[in-house]
Amino acid sequence: MSPAQSRAARGLLGWSEAALAGKAGLDEGFVRAFEAGHGDPAPGQVEVLRSALMTAGAVFTDSPAPGVRLEPQGQGEGIRLGELTTENDR
């Protein structure tokens, strides 16, 4: 994940740097520095950020160009018509 992809994913999710840091269990300064392209972060730390973003629905792409999009969360098949009951309404 590139710094630009991280910023884009945060933007799509409406998260601040502090929110991402909190969800990833990392320091806000690390997120700020990574997204600004400063330093040489450990791959494990970048993967923790990526994982937090992916858990929230971010999908990272590399081809044909690096990017990010959101995958709807909780949008499963739902309940089939033949399985509808009054219990499903609760």
Q: Whole-prediction pTM value?
A: 0.77
Please name which of 41, 62, 50 lies closest in space to residue 13, comparing C-alpha atoms. 50
Q: Which two tokens stand for residue 15?
A: 């998260």
- CA dist 65 to 6, 34, 45, 46, Å? 15, 20, 23, 20
So what's the pLDDT on residue 5? 96
Query: Distance between CA 39 and CA 37 in Å, rounded?
Result: 7
Domains and CATH numbers, the chain: 3-70 (1.10.260.40)
Contact assessment for residue 30 and residue 21, using Cβ atoms and an 8 Å cutoff: yes
Q: Can you give the pLDDT of all 90 residues of the chain as single tens digits?
A: 999 999 999 999 999 999 999 999 999 999 999 999 998 898 899 999 999 999 999 999 988 888 999 987 655 555 566 666 666 555
What residues contact 3, with CB distance under 8 A and at least 6 apart? 34, 35, 36, 37
Peptide bond between residue 72 and the one before it cis (omega within 30 degrees of 0): no
